């Protein structure tokens, strides 16, 4: 069969619901338009580990995508292509595949020349990476090397610049609301504080939106360092007013206590993008609230239920938004390919589907505009001036 061209598609970084629907949308449309579609396995790792030899077994690195395969996978969560946090421009020597170890011998290696050779070997005309700013930053790097790249934004934190919405965010917010409401039964039964740690390294959207929807009384976000005594005072106030005598706070994983210079980490080991694994701020907040609660509760201690939602909000099937938006993003990407346009990031801006130059990835960070959307005195969202705001209130124009 003579194809119009070959499209490569990959997913990088953390998994989220909505990746498979995006792969499905790209593949079905591309096949019907006469293109061959190759799934690159394990993110950028597939293009690093691939051996450019027709006799080599590359089944773990690349696969032909068919309509039947993606149609079945499109109804599921995660990514059937699998994923990794591989960064080919900063690859540790231990991660260099065996067939490249004579060529790359430094402690940290830029194996981009091999990636470019593998793209050429596979005959890829357009490459569609789906990921967050880390994955897409390498896509931008390849674009600058001459590869035709059309990018799709994905991250539960919803912090990819240039777009109001990223795949995975809707399900994350939906699950956070659902799980928080479920945990209320225990908090109310025991008259406790409920502290829930949610995702959000640099941006607090995943704490702010569920709180705005009524899932929590207060939230603390990475964009504003908070005073623990002020949070405690507010939670005691909320607990006193609640008929079941409990109160709830959502804590972004990247939130910081006033006077502390850095976030809370599980360890100081970093990934290939220089990120330490976050975790522990919820534990720290819960312990301090319990310890200091007698000061604000007539000398009596208030116990705490402390829960980290973690992978519960990123596993399982996508919600409605993360089924619909990936479908649209995949078709937007194909529109660009058919127009022979590359170097773009598909996006939603002020409620409209669009695309922006991919170099927006290296632009200003997308974070919560504290002055517009967060009440720093009350440690909760602002509920005024919704007129002409987009669906998710906060836009990419910060």
Contact 39, 62 (CB under 8 A): yes
> Which whole-number Å values give the CA distances from 374 to 207, 349, 379, in the listed order?
11, 21, 7
**Are the C-beta atoms of residues 103 and 113 closer than 8 Å to each other?**
no
> Tokens for 47?
């293009």
Cβ contacts of 154 within 8 Å, gap of 6 or more: 11, 13, 16, 18, 19, 22, 130, 131, 132, 135, 160, 166, 167, 168
pLDDT at 385: 77
The catalytic residue positions are 157
Would you write out the chain's pLDDT as a tens digit for each of its 398 residues? 689 999 999 999 999 999 999 999 999 999 999 999 999 999 999 999 999 999 999 999 999 999 999 999 988 999 999 999 999 999 999 999 999 999 999 999 999 999 999 999 999 999 999 999 999 999 999 999 999 999 999 999 999 999 999 999 999 999 999 999 999 999 999 999 999 999 999 999 999 999 999 999 999 999 999 999 999 999 999 999 999 999 999 999 999 999 886 766 565 666 676 656 666 899 999 999 999 999 999 999 999 999 999 999 999 999 999 999 999 999 999 999 999 999 999 999 888 999 999 999 998 889 999 998 999 999 999 988 788 777 776 665 54
- Position 280 scores a pLDDT of 87
CATH number of 170-313+369-381: 3.40.50.460
Residue that has been written with the tokens 């194909």 in this structure: 334
Q: What are phi and psi of 131, to 5 degrees?
A: -175, -175
The continuous run of DSSP H or E covering 344 comes out as strand 344-349
Using alpha carbons only, what angle is made at residue 303 by residues 299 and 305, rounded to the nearest 5 degrees?
160
β-bridge partners, 10: 129
> 273, 134 in Cβ contact below 8 A?
yes
**Would you say 302 and 192 are in contact if contact means Cβ atoms under 8 Å apart?**
yes
Close Cβ partners of 354 (under 8 Å, ≥ 6 residues apart): 346, 347, 348
Residue 178 CB burial class (10 angstroms; 0-12, 13-18, ≥19): middle
Strand-pairing partners, residue 196, are 250, 307
Nearest to 369 by CA among 257, 259, 230, 224: 224
Q: What Rg value do the Cα atoms of the chain yield, rounded?
A: 23
Please count the helices (runs of H) and the strands (runs of E) in the chain.
11, 17
Q: Which residues, in sequence order, are CB contacts of 8 under 8 Å at separation 6+?
A: 37, 38, 39, 40, 62, 119, 122, 124, 126, 127, 128
Of how many residues is the chain composed?
A: 398
Q: Bridge partners of 151? A: 345
Q: What is the CATH topology of the domain spanning 6-167+316-362?
A: Rossmann fold (3.40.50)
Domain ranges in the chain are: 6-167+316-362, 170-313+369-381
């Amino acid at each position: 069969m003579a194809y119009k061209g070959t499209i490569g598609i990959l997913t990088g970084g953390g998994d989220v619901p909505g990746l498979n629907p995006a792969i499905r949308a790209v593949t079905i449309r591309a096949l019907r338009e006469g293109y061959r579609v190759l799934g690159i396995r394990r993110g950028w790792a597939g293009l690093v580990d691939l051996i450019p030899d027709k006799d080599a077994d590359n089944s773990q690195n690349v696969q032909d995508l068919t309509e039947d395969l993606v149609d079945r996978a499109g109804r599921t969560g995660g990514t059937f292509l699998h994923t990794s946090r591989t960064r080919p421009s900063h690859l540790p020597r231990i991660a260099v595949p065996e067939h490249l170890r004579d060529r790359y011998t430094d402690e940290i290696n830029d194996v981009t020349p091999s990636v470019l050779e593998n793209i050429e070997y596979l005959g890829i005309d357009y490459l569609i990476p789906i990921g967050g700013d880390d994955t897409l930053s390498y896509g931008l790097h390849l674009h600058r090397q001459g590869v035709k790249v059309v990018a799709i934004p994905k991250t539960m934190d919803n912090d990819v610049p240039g777009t109001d919405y990223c795949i995975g965010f809707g399900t994350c917010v939906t699950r956070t609301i659902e799980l928080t409401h479920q945990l209320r039964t225990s908090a109310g039964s025991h008259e406790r504080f409920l502290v829930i740690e949610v995702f959000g390294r640099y941006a607090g959207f995943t704490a702010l939106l569920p709180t705005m929807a009524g899932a929590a009384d207060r939230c603390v976000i990475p964009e504003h360092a908070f005073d623990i005594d002020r949070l405690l005072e507010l939670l005691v106030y909320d607990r006193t007013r609640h008929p079941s005598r409990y109160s709830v706070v959502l804590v972004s994983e990247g939130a910081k206590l006033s006077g502390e210079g850095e976030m809370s980490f599980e360890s100081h080991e970093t990934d290939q993008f220089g990120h330490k694994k976050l975790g522990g701020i919820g534990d720290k907040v819960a312990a301090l609230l319990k310890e200091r609660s007698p000061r604000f509760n007539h000398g009596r201690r208030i116990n705490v239920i402390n829960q980290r939602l973690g992978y519960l909000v990123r596993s399982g099937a996508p919600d409605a938004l993360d089924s619909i938006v990936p479908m649209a993003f995949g078709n937007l990407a194909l529109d660009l390919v058919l127009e022979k346009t590359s170097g773009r990031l598909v996006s939603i801006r002020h409620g409209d589907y669009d695309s922006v130059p991919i170099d927006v990835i290296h632009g200003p960070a997308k974070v919560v505009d504290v002055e517009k959307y967060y009440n720093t005195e009350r440690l909760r969202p602002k509920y005024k001036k919704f007129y002409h705001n987009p669906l998710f209130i906060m836009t990419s124009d910060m």
